[in-house]
Structures are given as C-alpha cells and as structure tokens.
Amino acid sequence: MKKRFIIEGLDCASCASKMEVAINKLDGVKEASVNFMTQRLVIEADEDKMSSIIEEAEKIISRIEPYSKLKKA
Amino acid sequence: MNKNMRKRLIRIIAGIVLLLAAVLIDTTKDWINILLFLASYLIVGGDILLRALKNILRGKVFDENFLMSIATIGAMIISEYAEGIAVMVLYQIGELFQSYAVDKSRRSIGDLMDIRPDHANLMKNGDIVKVDPDEVMVGDNIVIMPGDRIPLDAMVVEGMSMVDTSAITGESLPRDVGPGQEILSGCINVNGVITAEVTKEYEESTVSKILDLVENASSKKSSSEQFITKFARYYTPLVVILAVLLAVLPPLLIDGASFDEWTYRALSFLVVSCPCALVISIPLTFFSGIGGASKRGVLVKGSNYFEALANVETMVFDKTGTLTKGVFEVQELKAYGISKGELIELAAYAESFSNHPISKSIQKAYGREIDQANVSDVFEIAGHGIEAVVGGKKITVGNTKLMKQKNIAYDEVDLVGTSVHVGIDGEYAGYILIADQVKEDSAQAIKSLKKSGIRKTVMLTGDNKKVGEKIAGDLLLDQVYTDLLPVDKVNRLEELILQSNEKKTLAYVGDGINDAPVLARADVGIAMGGLGSDAAIEAADVVIMTDEPSKIPLAIKMSKKIISIANQNITFAIAVKIVILILSALGITNLWVAIFGDVGVTFIAILNSFRAMNFKD
C-alpha cells in the first residue's frame, strides 16, 4: 500500500535526500520518496508494517530536520 | 518573504553593521574591536553554531552547519576575524536567498495549481445552499454563477455561458456551453448563470485528478537528481578529509611551511565543501519545469519523463482521437430488406451502451432518445463490435472481422472510412459508412517532430488498411500498422521497442481505453487528456490536456530545455568548485573568493533553474 504525507517545514534539499535514503532502509519499505519541492513523502510498504514504518519515519524526519513535522496529506 | 526570512535578513544586516564598525573604528584598544567582531559573529552565525552543536550531540557530524562553524572558527583562531565573519555573512545570505527562491517557486506553482474550487452552490428543494464540493453527490444539481470556478464535473441542464478552460487545458479561447454539454471542474464560468447536473464526485472530478497528479509528480526522479543525491553523499566527506590533510600534512612534511598558511588554505576547502548549489538547483529546475509545462496544458508526472521525452527517437501514435478528431460522422448508408432509418435505429440501439466514438456517432446520427429497456444481452467484443438483443432480434454490429466470425456474408466496402456492418438474426442487413477527420494541427505536429529529431513516426490503428494508409500518407508518417486488436498494438509496440536504439526512448500517444496497456508499455506514454479516458490518463506518464498533437513537439522542446538547464547547473557548479579547490590548495585564492564561489554559484544556478518555468515558443 501507498501512503502520502506532507513534511511541513522541509527547508533543506540535502536533508530531503538524507530522509529518503534513511526511510528506504526501513524494514518493509518497498519504495519511499521525498520530494523537496512539494514537501511530499510517499511510502510504499507492506500493509502490516506500515504503522511501525510511519513511526520510524517520523523519528528520522525529526532527527534530520528538527523543525519539520510529518502531516497526513 | 515570510516572517522567519525577514528575521534572518535583519540579523544579517545587524551583523554587517557591527562587522563594519569593527573594521573601520580605529580604537587603541584591540579588545574592543575583538568584542565587536565576536558580537557580529554570534548575531550572524549563532544559529548555525547552535545547530552544529546539537547535531554533533546527536552523532551527526558532516553537515553544512558543522562545516561552516569549523571554517569560520578556524579563521578566527588564525586571527582572520573579518574574513571569518564575512564568510558567515555571505553563507547566510546564500541560505536566505535559497529559502526565498524555494518559497517563491513553491508559491508560484501553488498559484498555478490554484484551481481547487472552494464551494459549490447546491440546489436543494428549490433553494441554493453553499456547500463544500466534497458533499455534492452524482446527480445533484448545482448552480454556477458568472466568475465562479466550476466545482465538479457536470453536464449543463439549463443556461448558456462561456467557459474559460485555460487553468485546465492552457487553451486561452473561452468555450461556449449550453444544455447537454459537459463542463469540467476547475474551469471558470465567464458570463452566464448555468445549472448543471453533477456527473462525477469531487474525488473523481478532473480538478482533483489534476491536483493529485501535479502534487505527486516527481515522486519519480530523473537520473540527474539521483546523480546529485549520490554526488552530495560522497563529495562533502571527501572534501573535508582533503581539508584536514591539507592543514596537517604540508606543515609536517615541507620545511618552512607554516601552520597558519595551510590551515587558511584548508578553510577554503571547507567553505566550498557544501554541495548546496547542486542539491537545491536540480530539483528546483525540474519542479519549475513541471509547473511551466502544466501552464501550457502539458502535465508531466515525474521529472524522469522530461529525460525520456528529450530522448525520444520513435514516436508511435494511435489514430482515432489522437491524430484524428475522433468525431465520426455517418457518411453513407446501405440497407438490405429494411429501410435506412430502421438500419440506423437498430444499430444505435445495439450500440447504446458503448462509449466508443463510432457508437457515439451512430447514436448521434439516429438523433432520437434511446429507450435502453429494449436492449438486452449486450456483448461487446473488443476490436470487433457488439452483439445485442433489440426488440427480440439479435443484432450484430461491427467490422468485417465480426461478420466473418459470425458467418455473415457482407459487402466489401471500397470507400475511405470505417464501415460498420449490421446483421439481424444472422442475416446481413447492410452497412453504415463513418468517416473521421484529421485534426487541424496533426500534420504540423508530425513535421515539427521530425525537425526536432524524431527518427521514426509510426501509427497503430484498429481501423482498416484503406483508412489507415490514407491518413498515414496524408500526414507523412513513416510506418503504419492497420487492423490491429488491442493485443496486437502491444505486440507491435514491443517489436518497435526492440528495433529502436537502446539509449533512445520510444513514446506512444493515445487516448482510448484500449490504449492503457500500450501507454504503460512505452518508455513514455502520452495521453490526450480532454477526450481521453480516465484509464488512459492513469496509465500515461504525460497528459496533453488540450488534445492537440502540436503540444507534443512543444513538450519535447520544453524537456530538452529543462534537461539542458539541469546539465548546465551540474557542470557549472561542479567546475567552479573544482577550480576553487585547486586554487585554494595552491594558495592562489583566498576565503573571499571561496565563499563568493560557493554562494555565487548557488545564486546563478537558482536563477538559471527558474528559466525552466518560462518557456517561449
């Protein structure tokens, strides 16, 4: 399944690519992409692992850009 | 400029004032100047230092905050106060400009995409209620006032008006609409009041589809974006390691080399170690490109498709609805045993459930209300035709293949057009000749495509040889394959892909339901939007909103421009950085040049990337 989010306050392009790399490494993620310009995060992952993946992704995002927030698109 | 940016600007200005004061005021006591320098430094760079510290505590060392902190603190330690602070000031100006540029670009594309309707005027028991477009159901009647945005896809019931479709299609001429005509959400009603029956829920309406498409575009990244991501990951650590070596090794190995001198050179390394110019300008270029293209009625679903479009070598077209208008008109009728009127009536009834352009034209030629209760057991055979029971008779309507399959002897029609044969209870009853018209700009489109370097143009059609070859000849297409079933189209496309150069791409342009698998199979699938089916739009990578083939050469031109801007930015930024690195290592340059190099490149690259939004024909 695919889920879409908005990363509010995403203000640094290289942070966006760091987030993308880190989220892609999470267990169960088929494909994740972070678009710096549209501030969008799309995660494609197994349904049963989705909630834990989102939790992990939130941690990754606040670690890389402490001022940004994950919001449902 | 938002609040945060204004604050940053004020801090930068305050820092510059203090810095000038520190440099210009000649006090006898050095410590006063040093104090002024420190104050300036903390005001300008305090947030960077803080962030660097926080990140180090989190175990993340190599980020731009850290690098700038080290470079500027290093400069201070070797008593180059003014330079250290200037580096910080310029860096902050560069960062501010970046935020400003990104914000501006996000906004301008937001405006472009500002087609979201905010309300619908719902007719409820004779009253008009203002509701959210979300709450309107299919079949509800809505009233659209002059100047209002059409909230949902609908069919006009009452009233006449002009509709400005430019937000959706890029077409600047307003369209006249009246009862019975479809109106698309996102367009603007110009002058008359119209009442319309909603045909699609908000989620399914054109406006939602387009917004969804654009907002989620570029989740597929181009290879230049991927390259930059990779490059940034290795570039920064590499330069930092080189900087450390540069500061430490020469003083140890070379006689008379001073620590200060080499540290200074190493600091320049740190200043240009940030890959900002690249990391920001490439996505900005593609994003601007997606915005600029959609302004012209071309929706591109990801930045990788710009690359594919720029590299198209083989262009494959569907015929009906793509190169031709898809508006068929009955040209001739031949009936056996029944009247011409009866023939068209039976055919229209049998085809009444079909959306195929040919069925539509037969229904249109019949011109009267069709009572679908009289039609049963409808069986559609894709690429062949339809069988249905109408008023107790089994009606077979379709092409010669269907007639052969059903063992119905038929007339060989020797005229250009599509002949639809009709059988009643297995007996031949005659044919209806339908002809389509080539779109006005098709020939021009093919010509410009050839000029822009497309090597081969091919047409695939389910239509017969006669029609197909006539049209292909008129349009000067290189190859044509006729009498194709939907499956055959995919097979032909596979063959064409095998024949083409591996480094080049193949594009397919289509519109109908039959095209979805072919669109998906091609390197770039281009769908004709307005007429096209939802399935085709979903399967396509690029959607032409206006249905004009001439938008395809335009899209290719735009893609080439966007790719070249991206390449310019990559080459320019990397070249400047390398030159500065070499000059710094040799001690020819200084920190000023380094920071100007870094921030200046970012500036130029960002300005350059904005060109992707403005495309002149």
Lowest-pLDDT range, A20-29, B114-123, B550-559?
B114-123
**Confidence bin at B546 (pLDDT 50/70/90):** confident
Is the dihedral angle over the CA atoms B50, B54, B59, B63 positive or is it negative? negative
| Residue B532 pLDDT | 53
Token pair for residue B324? 């031709």
Q: Which amino acid is at B420?
A: V
Whether residue B43 is found in the same domain as residue B131 = no
Q: How far is it, in rounded angstroms, from Cα B596 to Cα B496?
A: 51
Q: Does residue B367 form part of some domain? A: yes
The CA angle A40-B528-B553, to the nearest 5 degrees, is 90
Token pair for residue A51? 């909630």
Per DSSP, which regions of B341-489 are E strands? 375-381, 385-390, 393-398, 418-424, 427-435, 456-460, 479-481
Whether residue B345 is found in the same domain as residue B423 = yes
Instruction: Write out the catalytic residue numbers of B.
Output: 318
Whether residue B446 is found in the same domain as residue B424 = no
Among residues B392, B413, B435, which one ends one of the domains? B435
Nearest CA in chain A to B227: A17
Which residues 6+ apart lie within 8 Å of B400 measured at CB?
A: B410, B419, B421, B464
Q: Does residue B545 form part of some domain? A: no
- Chain B residue numbers with beta carbons less than 8 Å from the beta carbon of A21 are 229, 233
Instruction: Give the CB-side neighbour count of residue B47, counting CA atoms within 13 A.
Output: 12
Q: Cβ distance B185 to B207 under 8 Å?
A: yes
- Chain A residue numbers with beta carbons less than 8 Å from the beta carbon of B218 are 35, 37-38
For residue B542, the cross-strand partners are B300, B526
Q: Which amino acid is at B207?
A: V
- Chain A residue numbers with beta carbons less than 8 Å from the beta carbon of B58 are 63
**Contact call for A42 and B279, based on CB within 8 A:** no
Q: How far is it, in rounded angstroms, from Cα B253 to Cα A41?
A: 50
**Nearest by Cα to B606 from B52, B44, B96, B19:** B96
Nearest CA in chain A to B102: A37
**Contact call for B283 and A11, based on CB within 8 A:** no
For residue B176, the cross-strand partners are B162
Q: Above 70 in pLDDT, residue B113?
A: no
Whether residue B588 is found in the same domain as residue B599 = yes
Tell whether A62 is within 8 A of chain B (Cβ): no
Whether residue B97 is found in the same domain as residue B230 = yes
Q: Which amino acid is at A70?
A: L
Distance from CA of A48 to the nearest CA of B (A): 23
Q: For all residues of chain B together, what is the average pLDDT? A: 84
Q: Above 60 in pLDDT, residue B127?
A: yes
Distance from CA of B337 to the nearest CA of A (A): 58
Torsion, Cα B388 B392 B394 B397, to 10 degrees, reads -50
If you count them, how many residues does chain B have? 617
Determine which of B100, B208, B216 to mutate to test the interface with A (most A C-beta atoms within 10 Å).
B216
Which residues 6+ apart lie within 8 Å of B408 measured at CB?
A: B396, B421, B423, B426, B427, B428
Provide the number of structural domains found in chain A: 1
The tokens 């350059």 sit on which residue? Answer: B608
Distance from CA of B520 to the nearest CA of A (A): 19
Q: How far is it, in rounded angstroms, from Cα B294 to Cα B103?
A: 19
Q: Does residue B294 form part of some domain? A: no
Q: How far is it, in rounded angstroms, from Cα B5 to Cα B177?
A: 47
**Nearest by Cα to B180 from B367, B331, B434, B439:** B367
Q: Which domain holds residue B458?
A: 303-325+438-540
Q: Above 80 in pLDDT, residue B64?
A: no
Q: How far is it, in rounded angstroms, from Cα B434 to Cα B360?
A: 11
Residue B616 CA to chain centroid, in angstroms? 17
If you count them, how many residues does chain A have? 73
Q: Above 60 in pLDDT, residue B50?
A: yes
Whether residue B197 is found in the same domain as residue B181 = yes
Whether residue B399 is found in the same domain as residue B536 = no
Residue B383 CA to chain centroid, in angstroms? 31
CATH number at residue B373: 3.40.1110.10
Q: Does residue B604 form part of some domain? A: yes
Chunked in runs of 10, what are the mean pLDDT values of chain A (73 residues)? 84 81 90 84 88 90 80 73
**Nearest by Cα to B548 from B191, B8, B171, B37:** B171
For residue B527, the cross-strand partners are B510, B543
pLDDT, average across residues B56-74: 80
**Contact call for A35 and B218, based on CB within 8 A:** yes
CATH number at residue A10: 3.30.70.100
Q: Which amino acid is at A27?
A: D
Q: Cβ distance B527 to B543 under 8 Å?
A: yes
Among residues B435, B453, B484, which one ends one of the domains? B435
**Contact call for A35 and B219, based on CB within 8 A:** yes
Alpha helices in B367-407 (DSSP H): 400-405
Whether residue B90 is found in the same domain as residue B102 = yes
pLDDT, average across residues B191-197: 90
Q: Above 80 in pLDDT, residue B128?
A: yes
Q: Above 60 in pLDDT, residue B585?
A: yes
pLDDT, average across residues B239-257: 85
| Residue B564 pLDDT | 95
| Residue B215 pLDDT | 66
Provide the number of structural domains found in chain B: 4
Torsion, Cα B264 B266 B270 B272, to 10 degrees, reads 90
DSSP H or E stretch at residue B16 = helix B3-24
Q: How many CB pairs under 8 A join A and B?
A: 52
**Contact call for A66 and B287, based on CB within 8 A:** no
**Confidence bin at B218 (pLDDT 50/70/90):** low
Per DSSP, which regions of B187-327 are E strands? 188-189, 194-198, 298-300, 312-318
Q: What is the percent of chain B where pLDDT is above 70? A: 95
**Confidence bin at B446 (pLDDT 50/70/90):** very high
Render the burial of B432-453: b for 16+ CB within 10 Å, e for the rest. Answer: bbbbbebbebbbebbebbbeee
Whether residue B195 is found in the same domain as residue B255 = no
Token pair for residue B532? 């096209």
- Chain B residue numbers with beta carbons less than 8 Å from the beta carbon of A11 are 99, 102
Q: What is the pLDDT of residues B311-323, one digit of tens each?
A: 999 999 988 888 8
pLDDT, average across residues B9-21: 90
Whether residue B342 is found in the same domain as residue B313 = no
Determine which of A5, A14, A60, A71 to mutate to test the interface with B (most B C-beta atoms within 10 Å).
A14
**Kind of pairing, strands A29-35 and A40-45?**
antiparallel
**Contact call for A40 and B216, based on CB within 8 A:** yes
Which residues 6+ apart lie within 8 Å of B115 measured at CB?
A: B149, B167, B168, B186, B207, B210, B211
DSSP-assigned letters across all residues of B157-207: EE--EEEE-HHHH---S-EEE-TT-EE-TT-EE-SS-EEEEE-S-GGGSHH
Q: Above 80 in pLDDT, residue B29?
A: no
Q: How far is it, in rounded angstroms, from Cα B303 to Cα B330?
A: 43
Q: What is the pLDDT of residues B345-368, one digit of tens each?
A: 888 888 888 877 778 888 888 888
Q: Does residue B615 form part of some domain? A: no
DSSP-assigned letters across all residues of A21-61: HHHHTSTTEEEEEEETTTTEEEEEE-GGGHHHHHHHHHHHH
Whether residue B466 is found in the same domain as residue B409 = no
CATH number at residue B179: 2.70.150.10
Q: Above 70 in pLDDT, residue B217?
A: no
Q: Which domain holds residue A58?
A: 2-72
**Contact call for B280 and A42, based on CB within 8 A:** no
* Cβ under 8 Å to B: A residues 1-30: 4, 11, 13-14, 17, 20-21
Q: Which amino acid is at B313?
A: E
Reduced to 3 states (helix: H, G, I; strand: E, B; else coil), residue B367 is: coil
Which of the listed ranges B128-132, B208-212, B234-238, B366-370 does the model predict with the highest average pLDDT?
B128-132
Q: What is the percent of chain B where pLDDT is above 90? A: 16
Whether residue B184 is found in the same domain as residue B254 = no
Q: Does residue B617 form part of some domain? A: no
- Quickly count: other Cβ atoms within 10 Å of residue A47's Cβ: 9
Spell out the long-range contacts of A22-26 with Cβ–Cβ below 8 A and sequence spacing 24 or more: A22/A60, A22/A64, A23/A53, A23/A56, A23/A57, A23/A60, A26/A53, A26/A56, A26/A57
Determine which of A7, A10, A20, A38 to mutate to test the interface with B (most B C-beta atoms within 10 Å).
A38
Q: What is the pLDDT of residues B492-536, one digit of tens each?
A: 999 998 888 888 899 999 876 678 888 888 999 998 866 556 677
| Residue B388 pLDDT | 87
| Residue B530 pLDDT | 60
Which of the listed ranges B140-144, B265-269, B431-435 does the model predict with the highest average pLDDT?
B140-144
